[in-house]
Structure 1
Amino acid sequence: MYVKQLSESEEKARDKRFEKIKELQEKGICFGCYNFKTGDLFPDDGLIIYEDEMVRCQFERYPRATGQTIIVAREHYEDISEMPIELGIHILKISDAIIKLHKEILGAEKVYMCTICDGKRNHLHFQLFPRLKGEPIGYGNFVREEGIIMDYHKTAELYKNKLKGIMLY
């Protein structure tokens, strides 16, 4: 799995997704809830590595880091301030398992975690940003240029299989 620079057509697809999200938000529609119903903003395409009744975890199609992972709550919460503590505990357990896999499979030296639920009608989600050996340290990892994930199917299957064997409750 690796990330390459976006081509012109890939940039257009990414921008189209962003515009759809912005359009939904302007109408007061949560794009996360919309996606759980339609699947058309963040399609699976083999990107989902774990899901249960509380969360879905998937690789970001347009990542800023190799292995960037999105952990999204199934139920709607605007941001972390609305999140029930039980969900937070569940997300931390899942994050711990995925972070360990990022270190084992990708060779990540560190994995940063953030949540940026900002703007109109957002949906609680967390992001994991693996930092690989030789990459710069620090907050700059959150604002790198987006790329496109390539050759991820085998890696995603490996994550799925390893996460199946982990008891998260």
Structure 2
Amino acid sequence: MYVKKLSEDEEKSLKQRFEKIKELQEKDICFGCYNFTTGDIFPDDGLIFYEDEKVRCQFEKYPRATGQTIIVSKEHYEDISEMPLELGTYILKISNAIINLHKEIIGAEKVYMCTICDGKRNHLHFQLFPRLKGEPRGYQNFVREEGILMDYKEEVELYKCRMKELML
């Protein structure tokens, strides 16, 4: 698994995704809920490695970091302030498992977690940003230029198997 610089066509696809999200938000439609119904904003592309009745976990197709992971609530909440405490506890349990897998499978030294549910009609999600050995420390990991995830299928299968074991 690695992140490659975006080609012009990939940049165009990423821009179209942002435009679609903005268009839905302007119509007061939650893009997260819309995606759960249609799958056309964040298509699976084999990136989903864990899903249950509460959350979906997948690698970001256009990551800022190798292994960047999205953990999205299935239930709609605008942001963390609306999230029930029980869901927060559950998401921390899931996050801990994924963080340990990031360290084990892709060799992450640290994993940063954030939620940036900003703007109108957002959908609660968390992001995990692995920092690999030799990469810079700190906040700049959240603002790197997006790339495209490459050669990830083997890692996805490893994460799927390990998450099944860990979440029993």
The answer as to 2:154 corresponding to 1:154 is yes
Q: Aligned AA for 1:43?
A: P
1:111-136 CA-partner distances (Å, limit 9, x unpaired): 00000000010000000000000000
1:72 is aligned to 72
SS at match of 1:165: helix
Q: Aligned AA for 1:159?
A: Y
Distance across 2 between alignment mates of 1:84 and 1:69: 22
Distance across 2 between alignment mates of 1:167 and 1:135: 30
Q: Aligned AA for 1:49?
A: F
1:50 is aligned to 50
1:43-86 CA-partner distances (Å, limit 9, x unpaired): 11110010100000000000000000000000000000000011
Q: Aligned AA for 1:149?
A: L
Distance across 2 between alignment mates of 1:167 and 1:75: 19
Residue ranges of structure 2 left out of the alignment (5+ in a row): none
SS at match of 1:56: strand
Residue ranges of structure 1 left out of the alignment (5+ in a row): none
Shift of 1:167: 2.7
2:102 is aligned to 102
**Percent identical residues:** 81
Shift of 1:107: 0.5
1:145 is aligned to 145
TM-score, length-normalised on structure 1?
A: 0.98
Matches within 5 A, 1:8-23: 8-23=8-23
Distance across 2 between alignment mates of 1:138 and 1:14: 25
1:82 is aligned to 82
Distance across 2 between alignment mates of 1:13 and 1:157: 26
1:2-54 CA-partner distances (Å, limit 9, x unpaired): 00000000000010011000000000000000000000100111100101000
Moved over 2 A (4+): none
TM-score, length-normalised on structure 2?
A: 0.99
2:116 is aligned to 116
1:39 is aligned to 39
SS at match of 2:90: helix
Shift of 1:166: 1.1
Alpha-carbon RMSD: 0.6
Distance across 1 between alignment mates of 2:138 and 2:50: 27
